[in-house]
């Protein structure tokens, strides 16, 4: 059995690992790089050299986030015709997210190609079209939690809850080698925070001897969830008093629903005044509908709300913004108002024009609630090194206050990661730290060693490991 780390190796996006076993070639995740637009585009334009798409037998998807799923249509375009195993919720979310990815690419390319044509260069093609997404959707095999499935002789797949976003899974692969030796490989995908709102907690599958573990926040401890509501309340009281705006850049899937949940709770408890809350993203609207449909994935607290007649993701004053014209019109309205808009790292999407219109006013607040990759506008806002930031081609004075709530992260912190590892490590001999910036995967590998792992490694891109 051989594992080759093709993506998310010493970086936080582009999750892709190749497992070769029992005569089959299996991709664990097939994600796109995200981050600074130009660099990400260059990296995503080709599949890793190790991959001949026609020779990949299966893809197994931990969850629908684009940095885990977004390269699948390109794989199909390059000739992949195998099955894609994922939970049913992931299949539904991929359908909307990958189509959105096509739209974002078209929009970004318009800008890039205008420049290339001016420079006399050949225009770039999009990575894939909606027809590739259509073809991919035919290959999905919705797979339930806790139902072992023999996907090939000697290869058994089972999904467990990862508690990260709707449909997110821990991937367990049982591999029986030709020589009669067996391995159990456990891949964390992205691990949710313990006790996060809405979704059930991650699980601790037993018996793995090889583990691949994400490291996004191996360097920090998030503040407690109680703090999130207190701080959100503080910001909302502030914008009510100042008649100003609270802009929250948020990923459409996962983070947006968490924010809705917290705002709903604050309002229901009478802790904040009702203010207009605009969810400015068609993708967020579609994703929220999918969240509302799969109540079987909800945790006890969300179920209690639901059973008491409260939809945890809807409240008075909240509205979805559909067209770009409606989105632009928000710039002319007076506060108080909350605008939750994509993209989460502020690299594109409607949030950028809201930021451009708002950051010059010191009464406004920008609230960062998710991971901001290096080189992104979101990271520049968080670091706040300069007085101005470049947005949509212009230097804009940064007067608004920028706050960060890390507890809203959909990723486990150091304590969560190690809690999970301690719960699954019984037989683990080899552990691989992936999905983190270079210092964080290194830190994760050190932590795994401290917690008793005999061989903990932070692999580099393209590195392979063979197991008898
Ligand atoms: Zn994720």
CA of 67 relative to ligand 1 center, distance in Å? 7
CA of 435 relative to ligand 1 center, distance in Å? 10
CA of 410 relative to ligand 1 center, distance in Å? 8
CA of 65 relative to ligand 1 center, distance in Å? 5
pLDDT in tens, 144-184: 999 999 999 999 999 999 999 999 999 999 999 777 789 99
CA of 168 relative to ligand 1 center, distance in Å? 8
Candidate from 1-5, 44-48, 74-78 with smallest mean pLDDT: 44-48
Stretch 179-202: mean pLDDT, rounded? Answer: 92
CA of 214 relative to ligand 1 center, distance in Å? 10
Comparison of pLDDT for 405 and 50, the residue scoring more = 405
Q: How confident is the model at residue 226 (pLDDT cuts 50, 70, 90)?
A: low
CA of 181 relative to ligand 1 center, distance in Å? 33
CA of 269 relative to ligand 1 center, distance in Å? 30
pLDDT of 284 > 70? The answer is yes
Record the pTM: 0.91
Quote the CA–CA distance of 282 and 102 in Å, as a whole number.
Answer: 14
pLDDT of 227 > 70? The answer is yes
pLDDT in tens, 352-384: 999 999 999 999 999 999 878 788 888 999 888
CA of 45 relative to ligand 1 center, distance in Å? 21
Q: Which is nearest to 465 in space by CA: 427, 428, 425, 432?
A: 432
Quote the CA–CA distance of 139 and 59 in Å, as a whole number.
Answer: 10
CA of 253 relative to ligand 1 center, distance in Å? 9
CA of 131 relative to ligand 1 center, distance in Å? 25
CA of 75 relative to ligand 1 center, distance in Å? 20
Burial zone of 302 (CB within 10 Å; 0-12 exposed, 13-18 middle, 19+ buried) = buried
Burial zone of 83 (CB within 10 Å; 0-12 exposed, 13-18 middle, 19+ buried) = middle
CA of 166 relative to ligand 1 center, distance in Å? 10
Are the beta carbons of 194 and 201 closer than 8 angstroms? yes
């Amino acid at each position: 059995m051989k594992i080759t780390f093709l993506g998310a190796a010493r970086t936080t996006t582009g999750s892709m690992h190749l497992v070769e076993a029992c005569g089959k070639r299996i991709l664990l995740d097939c994600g796109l790089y995200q981050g600074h637009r130009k660099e990400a585009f260059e990296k995503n334009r080709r599949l890793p050299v190790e991959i001949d798409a026609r020779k990949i037998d299966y893809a197994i998807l931990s969850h629908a986030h684009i940095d885990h799923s977004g390269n699948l249509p390109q794989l199909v375009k390059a000739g992949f015709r195998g099955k894609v195993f994922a939970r049913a919720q992931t299949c539904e979310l991929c359908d909307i997210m990958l189509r959105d990815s096509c739209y974002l690419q078209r929009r970004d390319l318009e800008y890039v190609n205008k420049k290339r044509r001016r420079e006399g260069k050949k225009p770039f093609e999009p990575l894939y079209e909606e027809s590739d997404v259509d073809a991919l959707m035919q290959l999905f095999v919705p797979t339930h939690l806790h139902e072992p499935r023999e996907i090939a002789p000697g290869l058994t797949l089972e999904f467990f809850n990862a508690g990260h976003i709707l449909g997110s899974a821990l991937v367990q692969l049982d591999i029986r080698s030709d020589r009669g030796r067996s391995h159990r490989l456990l891949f964390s995908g992205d691990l949710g925070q313990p006790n996060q709102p809405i979704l059930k907690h991650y699980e601790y599958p037993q018996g793995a001897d090889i583990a691949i573990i994400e490291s996004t926040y191996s360097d920090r401890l998030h503040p407690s969830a109680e703090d999130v509501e207190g701080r959100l309340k503080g910001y909302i009281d502030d914008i009510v008093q100042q008649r100003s705006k609270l802009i929250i850049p948020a990923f459409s899937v996962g983070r947006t629903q968490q924010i809705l949940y917290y705002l709903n709770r604050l309002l229901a408890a009478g802790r904040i005044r009702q203010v207009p809350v605009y969810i400015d993203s068609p993708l967020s609207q579609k994703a929220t509908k999918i969240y509302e449909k799969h109540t079987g994935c909800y945790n006890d607290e969300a179920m209690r709300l639901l059973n008491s007649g409260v939809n945890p993701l809807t409240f008075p004053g909240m509205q979805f913004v559909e067209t770009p014209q409606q989105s632009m019109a928000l710039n002319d309205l007076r506060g108080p108002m909350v605008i939750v808009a994509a993209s989460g790292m502020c690299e594109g999407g409607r949030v950028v024009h809201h930021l451009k219109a708002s950051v010059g006013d010191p009464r406004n607040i920008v609230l960062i609630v998710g991971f901001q990759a290096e080189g992104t506008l979101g990271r520049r806002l968080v670091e706040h090194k300069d007085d101005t930031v470049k947005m949509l081609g212009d230097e804009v004075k940064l007067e608004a206050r920028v706050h960060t709530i890390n507890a809203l992260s959909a990723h486990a912190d150091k304590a969560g990661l190690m809690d999970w590892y301690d719960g699954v490590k019984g037989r683990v001999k080899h552990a691989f730290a992936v999905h983190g910036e270079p210092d964080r995967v290194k830190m994760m590998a050190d932590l795994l060693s401290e917690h008793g792992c005999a061989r903990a490694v932070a692999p580099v891109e393209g590195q392979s490991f063979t197991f008898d």
